[in-house]
Amino acid sequence: MHQSVSDRPFPRKKSRSWALPGGRHPNDIRALAQTPDGIVWIGTADGLFAFNDGAFKSDADIPCRDIKRLIVDNGALLACTGLTLSTKSASGTWHSDIEETWDAGAVIDVLPGSPPHVILTEDGPGTVIEGAFSAEGHFYPADANALCFTRHEGVTWVGGDRGLRIIPPNSASIDLLTDHQVRDIAFTQDGDAIVATSSILYRVSPSSYEILALETPVTDFHAVVVTEGWFWSGSSQGLCGWDGNRWHYLAGPRWLPSDDVRALLPIENAIYVGTGNGFAEIRLDPTTLERKAADFDARIRDRHLRLKGYVTSSRLDVPGDLSTSRPVPSDNDGLWTALYLAAHSYRFAVTEEPQARHFADQAFDAIAWLEGVTTVDGFPTKAIISPDEDTGSDPVSWYPSTDGQWLWKGDCSSDEIDGHMYGYSIYYDLAATDEKRAEIRDLVDRIMGHILDNGYLLIGADGKRTRWGVWAPEYLNGPWRAQRGLNSLEILSALRSAEHITGNSRYADAYKDLVENHGYAENARRTKITTPGHVNHSDDELAFISYYPLLKYETDTGLRDIYLNSLTHAWEIERSERNPWWNFIYSALVGTPTDIDESARTLREIPSDLLNWPVRNSHRRDVVIDAHRGRKGEVQATHVLPYDELPMSKWNGNPYGLDASTIGNSEDDGTYYVLPYWMGRYYGYIEPAD
């Protein structure tokens, strides 16, 4: 177990997609190739296109527009088409290498040479001599269709409906995988063949002909390519990549314009992907965790700040089009902005960069305004909007500010208070100036004073308690018993933080009363509810942000033992989620770095694209479906998949969830990455690269 991880470079996956001009048929892509001049050629059901610097240009001179396969040989581009085999010379002119094949069928593959060999859909494999096709029965069984062939170290490999035929130059052919349809073949650096079939992939040794079935996430493969350290294969259900250690499954519009992957082309740090509905580039450029954090921060500053600095998700007026992005109020503007406040407080403590303190100051000012705008002293609202904004369908009332310039939502809940106190405590300890510390003390005194003055309830402008602002003993030890573990933990944490920040003994006295007379410490011993199908991942977040300040400030050894027991119980249940934030909180509080490698893995996996794209994983061969549904009825797995393959979610979502029907019309801000990264740096769990 490592005490820390070095922030070594790793490949960061990013995707871009394009639609080719001309409608549906030009986007039915069958083949890809690159000529020595750097141009990527795209063969489609209706034309050949040159792709260069993000632009497409149709090649109007190709003899047949129905492209089946493209191959580059000695600098020339060979096109297998519906009528002929054509060659484009380095000078740019086309000529046909074979008479039109109306009766013999389309040319579907070519093995360059003198003479070249081709496969025709009707007549099968054969040789082209002086423009005429001559069938050769030894290439493949006469009663089966050949689909592809290649040559490796002098040996010809042919795939088709009757499996794989290997033809050494001076010995009898060998037939393998005869009950599979073989569609493509590629060779690894160590010489093994990766064979794409209608079921899964197979690895075949050219020396022993030993066959190894590869446990791919999906089936029905059409294309396979090998790159340095990787091989990639495209199926009708997306793109699979093997990095030598694990599978990467890329599917859905986060990665591809269509899951029907037909053709692949590796170029340096990129994989170009031809699908049944468009073209994609997936880049694997090296980056570091620190650069990734900076990228997310730049995105937050660019399109996720609202009003005075609330950090929120954005809404896209046109799904998938980030140029139509606009930040929108959430139901927890204070909580989400408080996490950003904590992130940059850690960043300032690590770097002492003025920008980090500025970002933290701005976030604090925005959160403080949530209390300042309301007409109830010590009552922070969840959100503020201008009078001309839509208040949505939530039945909670909105109230005008004193100056009439704003509307504030007449609701506040325990999650808002938890977030506020978590953010305030970290900012107060690590980044606030003396002037800002005075502001924090006054603000915390008003908020916690309101809660105590109202009997551990949040009371809104209508004089009634809010739905979730409840920590009173008569509730938690009575009708709210199901919530007593978490809510007891929350209020004890808030009181300890308030005492630490304000120095007011009132909060210490209230804390003592709840512990000694109402059993709140014992209540907090079991915060995690594990009833199958009823795991509340949002409550997990509230628990961990309550554990952190409570255990930082608690000095009584007996109480610390109770809280650490509670924390350990909760974390052991959460451990399999590989949540870096939970892991860093746990490590910091118990004093032992734990699961740091797994935390770094998750940070590397968090996708660059944080849109809420539709995602489907429940069909995968490598997924075991849990017998129990999630709390919201969602299908879930028994283990957590890589995070860049999951539906978009903050840490309060279900990481076991597999599918999402969302449409790419919202983008998360990315604080859920930035906070654990800088916390990891602060505690030394992540070491900057040399």
User: Which H, E and C letters describe 217-256, residue by residue?
Assistant: CCCCEEEEEEECCEEEEEECCEEEEECCCCEEEECCCCCC
**Consecutive H or E run containing 362:** helix 354-372
Cα–Cα distance for residue pair 587/203, rounded to 1 Å: 42
pLDDT of residue 533: 59
Percent of the chain, pLDDT > 90? 88
Pick from 248, 213, 244, 253: nearest CA to 234? 248
Rounded (5°) CA angle 9-15-21? 150
Q: Which of 11-20, 100-109, 147-156, 655-664 has the lowest average pLDDT?
A: 100-109
Span 527-580, pLDDT tens digits: 876 665 568 899 999 999 999 999 999 999 999 999 999 999 999 999 999 999
- Which residues does residue 219 pair with via DSSP β-bridges, in sequence order? none
How would DSSP label each residue in 69-135? EEEEETTEEEEEESS-EEEE-TTS-EEESS---TTT--EEEEE-SSS-EEEETTTEEEEEETTEEEE
Rounded-to-integer distance, Cα 265 and Cα 282, Å: 10
In a domain, 362, yes or no: yes
pLDDT in tens, 243-299: 999 999 999 999 999 999 999 999 999 999 999 999 999 999 999 999 999 999 999
Integer Cα distance of 92 and 88 in angstroms = 6
Q: What is the pLDDT of residue 99?
A: 80
User: For the domain that residue 466 is a member of, what is the CATH number?
Assistant: 1.50.10
Distance CA 58, CA 46 (A): 10
Q: What is the pLDDT of residue 529?
A: 66
- Specify the pLDDT at position 80: 93
- 557-574 and 537-553 helices, crossing angle to 10°: 150
Q: What are the tokens at 84? A: 């002929």
Instruction: Determine the 3-state secondary structure of 263 from DSSP.
Output: strand
If pLDDT is split at 50, 70 and 90, which confidence band does 124 have? confident
The answer to the question of residue 260 being in a domain is no
Measured distance CA(340)–CA(346) in Å, rounded: 10
Cβ atoms within 10 Å, residue 75 = 10
Neighbouring residues of 522: CB distance < 8 A, sequence distance ≥ 6: 562
How many CB atoms sit inside 10 A of residue 34's CB?
17
- In three-state secondary structure terms, 305 is strand
At residue 103, does pLDDT exceed 80? no
Query: Residue 185, CB half-sphere, CA atoms under 13 Å: how many?
Result: 28
Residue 115: asked if its preceding bond is cis (omega within 30°), the reply is yes
Exposure of 171 by Cβ count < 10 A (0-12 exposed, 13-18 middle, 19+ buried)? exposed
- With respect to residue 51, please indicate whether it lies within any of the assigned structural domains: no
Q: State residue 589's pLDDT score.
A: 98
Distance CA 592, CA 583 (A): 10
Four-CA torsion 381, 386, 390, 393, nearest 10 degrees: 10
Please check whether residue 108 lies inside any domain of the structure. no
As given in the structure block, the two tokens for residue 538 are: 């949002």
| Angle CA 191–196–198, to nearest 5 | 155
CA distance 195 to 225: 10
CA atoms within 13 A on the CB side of 320: 14
pLDDT of residue 531: 61
Domain span at residue 609?
290-687
333, two tokens: 């503007």
DSSP letter at 483 equals G
User: Of 185, 188, 217, whose CA–CA distance to 200 is shortest?
Assistant: 217
Do 342 and 351 form a contact (C-beta atoms < 8 A)? no
What's the chain's average pLDDT?
Answer: 95
Amino acid residing at 653? G
pLDDT at site 130: 85
The 10 Å Cβ neighbour count of residue 181 is 19
Angle at 301 between CA 298 and CA 303, to 5 degrees: 105
Residue 502: pLDDT band with limits 50, 70, 90:
very high
pLDDT digit string (tens) for 348-395?
Answer: 999 999 999 999 999 999 999 999 999 999 999 999 999 999 888 888
Would 184 be classed as within a structural domain?
no
Supply the pLDDT for residue 142. 87
Q: How many domains does the chain have?
A: 1
Residue 493 and residue 559: Cα distance in Å, rounded? 12
pLDDT: is 123 or 460 the higher one?
A: 460
Torsion sign across C-alpha atoms 378, 381, 384, 387: negative
**Tell me, what amino acid is at 525?**
R
* Residue 564 counted as domain residue: yes
CA distance 316 to 160: 46
Instruction: List, for residues 385-416, the tens digit of each pLDDT value.
Output: 999 998 888 889 999 999 999 999 999 999 99
- Would you call 420 helix, strand, or coil by DSSP? helix
Strand 686-687 vs strand 5-6: parallel, antiparallel, or unpaired? parallel
Partners of 470 in the β-ladder: 457
- Position 1 pLDDT exceeds 60: no
Provide the CB-side half-sphere exposure for 243 (13 A, CA): 10
Phi and psi at 225, nearest 5°, equal -140, 155
Residue 373 has phi, psi (to 5 degrees) of: -80, -20
Q: What pLDDT, on a 0 to 100 scale, did the predictor assign at position 530?
A: 65
Q: Quick count: other Cβ atoms within 10 Å of Cβ 482?
A: 12
- Residue 30: closest CA among 194, 223, 239, 159: 223
Contact 642, 254 (CB under 8 A): no
- Record the pTM: 0.95
Confirm whether 40 is domain-assigned. no
Question: Could you say which DSSP state residue 642 is in?
Answer: P
